[in-house]
Amino acid sequence: MAREYKLRMHNVAYKNLFGRKFRSILLLFAIMIAVALFFGLSSLTAGMEELMMEATNDSGIKNAIDVVDSSSGMFYGTIDRSAIKTIESIPGVKYVIPRVFALVQLEDVDLVTPLSQIERTITPEMDMLMQQMIRMIGTINIGETDFSDLSNLISLVGIDPDLEYIMGGYPSKITRGSIFTTSGGAILGEMLAKNSGLDVGDKITVICDNKQRTFYISGIYSSGNPIQDNSVVVSIKDAQYLKGFGNNEVSLLRVISEENIDNSIIGMHIKTKLPGKVNIIDHSLTASVINEQFNQFKVYEYIVIAIVILASIGFILAITMRSITERTKEIGTLRAIGWQKTDVLRLIFIESLIITIIGSILGVILGILLPYIFQTIIPFFFSDLIIPPMSELVKITPLMVVESILIGCTAGVIGGMIPSIRAVRMSPVDAFKY
Amino acid sequence: MIETRNLTKIYRRGNAEVVGLKDINLKIEDGEFLSVIGPSGSGKSTLLHLLGGLDKPTYGEVLIDGENIEDLEEKELCQLRRDKIGFVFQDFNLINTLNAIENVVISRIPTGVPHEMIERGINLLSYFRMEDRLDHLPTQISGGQQQKVAIARALINMPQIVLADEPTGELDSKSGGEIIRLMREMNEIEGVTFVIVTHDLNVSDQTDRIIQIQDGEIIKDINNTPHG
């Protein structure tokens, strides 16, 4: 009784791959790196795109205009709430929502925030330059204060929860707990909660200039925008108290227009109706500028991806060409003993496919880990570099996984087969001469 | 039966033409055990390649059982090489990643290896006293054993003819003698025709017919009484 032998085409392919370990490992490595780079870049771009989309879509930002005080900006200026009625009377305006903004400190909370990290990297020259810039834009009156004093500052936003709900603002982004219903409650951005170690049920004391107030944390929200997620949100009344504002004073009016209405026209109307008092910040322009810049970034990304793919095909070709002498003679032998050209190509195709599928899957795994690996490694070399959390920057989709594997397989099969096609076309006699 | 008619092969080297074989007319009957001898470059291997359909003649034809192999389509030619012809090469040409039995049945792998084919492979290797080397890779066995695997590979499909190109060229005289003895035994047991190209007169002396080639032409075709 003959023992069982596995003698099918794919078994031969496996044996060829295992029998040429060095070549196979090199190929696997080349494909894995190429796929990991492709996947890493794609997931990073998709993550950044989503982040930007979320930032620009925040509170319907695409059809939003912010109205702020023309002389002191949103952090130090005030707008009278009576302007709401004036603005609401403009045709095409859907809602007008008041907000109060403040830069505050949290008592007894040591923040590990990007701002405190920035402080470590600020040189005296940069400090001077930034002070000049801040004075020029006139939004923050920091006098002769050293910029490092800003390192523990976070932004506080005062809102009207009911109005915010309508336009999908902070309350609709709560991930844990709930929105506060009375004065004295606060919700925290996820990044701030993480950096401060605070959570739902904890208490915080917020200091703004020489006023302070204690809040209980009723919820945590996540908008996907790192700046927003590093803020504390309280009721508009509490924010007015901390800023020393009167009942009718707010920092900003967010104007949401009807769909298909040109923001610039609404902006012009507002400026006409409130002459000399306000500045208009048109978010649709910001969004389009961001989109334009991001599209440009994507072009660079595609170029890098194309280079990665071409380089990997080249590398794979270089590896397969190295072993072509041995392979050509082997192909000649197979042809001499009765294999057809298509049989030989089928064997090489299966070999290439096996190695590229394994390489691509490993590449995708490495691609998922790559941003986190970089995040871990980079601080050892550049201790002052600020790296945002990768979980916020990276976005992985099933389509991306499929695309990466397909690209890996295509590059691997092309690189693996091209040198062999020439050998298959040769007559066996010519192949023996190798 | 294999027959050649005015078989001619001319190679081009730049503008010059080099005659590899010239007007070879030859008949090889079934079951013959013959050798082709001649100095290096005389055209021995070229004749073998043309007989096996590995190369195409410039003029003339090769007939196997009356059929001109040049009339065959690529697929038919592959089937002919697989089913009717076996090849044995000087440097064995085994696939280094496959073991002995896999190398023996390799020609059948694209279409699937029948169970009886594996049994035949094992029987052949056992006959060659290699039953304990079935799972060994070519790099794990001696040159003589590798050539035995190559002969088993050539015989696996019960071909009509085995074409051997310097089968003892890489072997010591003892191993070479054993290889020729095995070929002779298979010729007698299975009735396979053997055409052995060699420049070793000790090898040709073991065959029944010796064809001598020089400068691409047959200069002697004699019957021989084997010695030893």
Quickly count: other Cβ atoms within 10 Å of residue A109's Cβ.
17
Query: Which token pair is A192?
Result: 């701030």
Average pLDDT over residues A260-276: 84
Considering only CB atoms, B102 lies closest to which of A7, A329, A330, namely A7
Phi and psi at residue B77, to the nearest 5°: -65, -40
Q: Does B51 touch chain A (CB under 8 A)?
A: no
Inform me whether the pLDDT recorded for A132 exceeds 60. no
Cβ B106–A334 below 8 Å, yes or no? yes
Q: Angle A341-381/A9-19 helices, nearest 10 degrees?
A: 40
Residue B122 domain boundaries:
30-57+70-223
Cβ A7–B113 below 8 Å, yes or no? yes
Residue with tokens 């004391």: A205
Which residues of chain B lie closer than 8 angstroms to A432, CB-CB?
A: 89, 93
Which residues of chain A lie closer than 8 angstroms to B57, CB-CB?
A: none
**Strand-by-strand arrangement of the B16-28 sheet:** B16-28, B2-13, B59-64, B67-68
Lowest mean pLDDT across A111-120, A290-299, B57-66, B141-150: A111-120
pLDDT number for residue B52: 94
Average pLDDT over residues A115-124: 47
Inform me whether the pLDDT recorded for B153 exceeds 60. yes
Lowest mean pLDDT across A176-180, A223-227, B166-170: A223-227
Residue A137 banded pLDDT, cuts 50, 70, 90:
very low
Which residues of chain A lie closer than 8 angstroms to B105, CB-CB?
A: 7
Residue A387 banded pLDDT, cuts 50, 70, 90:
low
Q: Angle A263-273/A283-322 helices, nearest 10 degrees?
A: 150
CATH number of the domain at B198, please: 3.40.50.300
Q: Does A79 touch chain B (CB under 8 A)?
A: no
Between A255 and B153, name the one with better pLDDT. B153
Which residues of chain B lie closer than 8 angstroms to A333, CB-CB?
A: 89, 93, 95
Considering only CB atoms, B122 lies closest to which of A2, A19, A343, namely A2
Q: Which of A227, A214, A254, A218 is nearest to A154 (CA)?
A: A227
pLDDT tens for residues B36-95? Answer: 999 998 999 999 999 999 999 999 999 998 899 999 998 999 999 999 999 999 999 999
pLDDT number for residue A220: 93
Average pLDDT over residues B201-228: 92
User: Rounded mean pLDDT of chain B?
Assistant: 94
Domain count along chain B? 1
Average pLDDT over residues A389-397: 77
Cβ B110–A339 below 8 Å, yes or no? yes
Residue B2 domain-assigned (yes or no): no
Cβ B97–A432 below 8 Å, yes or no? no
Between A316 and B173, name the one with better pLDDT. B173
Q: What percent of chain A has pLDDT over 90?
A: 22
State ipTM. 0.94
Could you tell me whether strands B2-13 and B161-165 are parallel, antiparallel, or unpaired per DSSP bridges? unpaired
pLDDT tens for residues B102-131? Answer: 999 999 999 999 999 999 999 999 999 999
pLDDT tens for residues A194-224? Answer: 888 889 999 999 998 888 999 999 999 987 6
The whole-angstrom distance between B102's CA and the closest CA on chain A is: 7
Residue B116 domain-assigned (yes or no): yes
Q: Does B113 touch chain A (CB under 8 A)?
A: yes
Which residues of chain A lie closer than 8 angstroms to B56, CB-CB?
A: 427
Cβ A330–B95 below 8 Å, yes or no? yes
Would you give the DSSP letter of residue A139? S
Q: Does A15 touch chain B (CB under 8 A)?
A: yes
Residue B8 domain-assigned (yes or no): no
Three-class secondary structure of residue A407 per DSSP: helix
Inform me whether the pLDDT recorded for A255 exceeds 80. yes
pLDDT tens for residues A275-312? Answer: 777 888 877 776 677 777 778 888 888 888 888 888 88
Residue B120 domain-assigned (yes or no): yes
If you count DSSP H runs as helices and E runs as strands, how many of each does chain A have, helices first?
A: 16, 12
pLDDT number for residue A385: 61
Query: Which token pair is A240?
Result: 């007015």
Residue B119 domain-assigned (yes or no): yes
Domain boundary assignment for chain A: 9-55+290-432, 71-276
Q: What percent of chain B has pLDDT over 70?
A: 99
Quickly count: other Cβ atoms within 10 Å of residue A62's Cβ.
19
Average pLDDT over residues A172-200: 88
Residue B123 domain-assigned (yes or no): yes
pLDDT number for residue A161: 84
Which residues of chain B lie closer than 8 angstroms to A332, CB-CB?
A: 93
pLDDT number for residue A106: 86
Residue A1 banded pLDDT, cuts 50, 70, 90:
very low
User: Rounded mean pLDDT of chain A?
Assistant: 81
Spatial distance between the Cα atoms of A357 and A351, rounded to a whole number of angstroms:
10
Cβ B83–A339 below 8 Å, yes or no? no
- 3-state SS, chain B, equals CEEEEEEEEEEEECCEEEEEEEEEEEEECCCCEEEEECCCCCCHHHHHHHHCCCCCCCEEEEEECCEEHHHCCHHHHHHHHHHCEEEECCCCCCCCCCCHHHHHCHHHHHHCCCHHHHHHHHHHHHHCCCHHHCCCCHHHCCHHHHHHHHHHHHHCCCCCEEEEECCCCCCCHHHHHHHHHHHHHHHHHHCCEEEEEECCHHHHCCCCEEEEEECCEEEEEEECCCCC
